[in-house]
Structure 1
Amino acid sequence: MKSCLIDTIFLSDKRKNLLLLLLEGPQTSDDIKDKLNVNWGAMIPQIKKLEEWDLITSKDRVYYLTDMGRAIANNSKQLLNILCVYENNQKYWATHDLSRIPTDLLDRIGELGPCKLLESDLAHVFDANKDVVEAMIDATFCGTLSNFFQPQYNKMYNTMIKNGCDLTLIYSQSVFDRILSEYVYDGTAELDDVKFLDWKNTKFYVIPDGLGITEISVTNNIVLLGLFDSDNRFDSRYILSSGDRSHQWGMELFAFLSKEAKRIETNVKD
């Protein structure tokens, strides 16, 4: 008896992996064996089931997705990516406020790919997170939008700037007001002690309160996302992701959240 389509796709890793492989293009039987590391005899009945649903076809031992097979495989891949992102850090996503992420980006959150949860131990929760520093220090571009300010990251930003990083910093109004009152560089500090506003290659912006997230930082290498928990409480943990699709997703969220940002004039000109 012919099984239902969803069972055909998701109840067999061999069938699921074959559909995803064929998204890359036509594959010979040898390609399938090598790339999926399977025994060809074990693949034949799986291929027949996909052929029964007209998801794949073949010619001269070369296998292709049909038009409908490609549409289903593409959407299956998107679902699997979302499930991977959610499953790997389920407790974080389930207990944090996602309302500031636009629906179209939330639907594509699988583009973040494999994510890592960065968290500081209690003894270092007020220090610069070493995993954050390691992920960002070599960036040539960095855009950060933040609802908090941690002076311990100044050293990291100074190093990035010395290395030629193009830096954009956006702070909420209340955070920016505190920075002005406590951390503005007065022109007398040594270079490594420069605190704020006169960093070269740096653009500063302020945005109205109510960002709805703790921070998003996007570099040419990584996306770093911090969210308030479901009770709107600050959380020092971050989701870290990398890759081209992740970068595009992060840039779109960064652009969406920073639409109302207004540039702050400083002594350093472009």
Structure 2
Amino acid sequence: MNPNLLDLVLFSEKRKAFLLLLKEGPKNTQEILDRLQVPRTALLPQIKKLKEQNLVIHEEGIYSLSLIGEIIIEKMQPLLDTLEVFEKNEDFWADRKLTPIPSHLMKRISELGDYHLIEPDLSHTFDLNPEFVKYTSASNNILMFFSYFHPQFPDFFLKLARRGTEISLIVGESVYSRLEEDFRKEGEEFLGMENTNLFILDKKEVEIPAVVVSSDKIMILGLFNESGRFDRQYVIGFEPRAIEWGRDLLEYLRNMSREIKIKEKREPER
């Protein structure tokens, strides 16, 4: 087998698209041309190279993957998905601190899928990001970590909790101290509800993200840049795998946190 097999598979968009199409199952020539939207003269030379390396079989007008081709494409898909995540916003990822994401979740970064990047809204410099508010407000349950304090957070989460949204918040000690000092009344009401929980992440040696949200609707991830600043850029994903990935990151943080036990749940009305 040619030692440049990796180059053959990865470094041609036409060959890559053709192999991924055959991953769905055998296809005839016309179906391949229709699906890939490429001229026959441009595709056939690429197919010839794949056949020469025994990755593709052509029998009675039908193209299919060989056993070797099936194995390679199965292993190739996670790599392609991972590359797609980083290539989609190369400058963003190059300037992020990724160490707060544990290795087992970095290996699953492809699960972010077709995410979007929310840029800072300069017209709302001192407000919560409008898209953050929109999507979290539409959720029925929210698990969230935030390492910085925003003065609109207490009122925002209290309003959601009052209408029945299930909310579990994980915060750092400095954030909790700010809540106690300046928003005691709101904090006591929040903690007194049956549908709320509050955890403190007090392991100072652990590197942390800026913000993580996972709800039944959405996943949001905010990371500090290499300068240690949070520039209010968020990765936002709607796919189930992205939401699950965010929840696993939050569970990782929650497992290192302690729950605030001082609240007294409201007695049911008689």
- State the distance in 2 between where 1:59 and 1:166 align: 57
Task: Kindly indicate whether the alpha-carbon contact (under 8 Å) linking 1:184 and 1:196 is maintained by their aligned counterparts in 2.
Answer: no
Shift of 1:41: 5.2
Q: Give 1:142's aligned residue.
A: 142
Within the candidate set 214, 217, 224, 1:218 is matched to 214
Shift of 1:250: 1.7
Give the TM-score, by structure 1 length.
0.83
- State the distance in 2 between where 1:107 and 1:230 align: 21
- State the distance in 1 between where 2:260 and 2:179 align: 13
Task: Kindly indicate whether the alpha-carbon contact (under 8 Å) linking 2:144 and 2:212 is maintained by their aligned counterparts in 1.
Answer: yes
- State the distance in 1 between where 2:246 and 2:215 align: 9
Q: Give 1:7's aligned residue.
A: 7
SS for the counterpart of 1:213 is coil
Q: Which amino acid aligns with 1:99?
A: T
Q: Please state if 1:267 is matched with 2:261.
A: no
Within the candidate set 181, 188, 192, 1:198 is matched to 192
Q: Please state if 1:54 is matched with 2:48.
A: no
Task: Kindly indicate whether the alpha-carbon contact (under 8 Å) linking 2:171 and 2:201 is maintained by their aligned counterparts in 1.
Answer: yes
Shift of 1:213: 1.4
- State the distance in 2 between where 1:161 and 1:27 align: 53
Structure 1 stretches of 4+ moved >6 Å:
none
- State the distance in 1 between where 2:79 and 2:46 align: 21
Aligned-residue identity in percent? 32
Q: Give 1:242's aligned residue.
A: 238
Deviations 1:203-261 (CA, angstroms, capped at 9, x unpaired): 21111153521111112232211112223334332221221221222222222222112
- State the distance in 1 between where 2:123 and 2:16 align: 45
Task: Kindly indicate whether the alpha-carbon contact (under 8 Å) linking 2:199 and 2:254 is maintained by their aligned counterparts in 1.
Answer: no
- State the distance in 2 between where 1:209 and 1:234 align: 20
Q: Give 1:69's aligned residue.
A: 69
Deviates more, 1:147-156 or 1:215-224: 147-156
- State the distance in 2 between where 1:5 and 1:16 align: 12
Deviations 1:19-64 (CA, angstroms, capped at 9, x unpaired): 2223333434444233322344543332222222222224444433
SS for the counterpart of 2:245 is helix
Structure 1 gaps of 5+ residues are 188-193
Kindly tell me the number of residue pairs found equivalent between the two proteins. 263
Structure 2 gaps of 5+ residues are none
Inter-CA distance 81–268: structure 2 relative to 1 (3 Å threshold): same
Give the TM-score, by structure 2 length.
0.83
- State the distance in 2 between where 1:58 and 1:158 align: 63
Within the candidate set 249, 254, 257, 2:253 is matched to 257
Q: Give 1:185's aligned residue.
A: 185
- State the distance in 2 between where 1:74 and 1:224 align: 29
Q: Give 1:131's aligned residue.
A: 131
Q: Give 1:190's aligned residue.
A: none
Deviations 1:62-113 (CA, angstroms, capped at 9, x unpaired): 4333333233223333233222222232222222211121223223312212
Task: Kindly indicate whether the alpha-carbon contact (under 8 Å) linking 2:146 and 2:171 is maintained by their aligned counterparts in 1.
Answer: yes
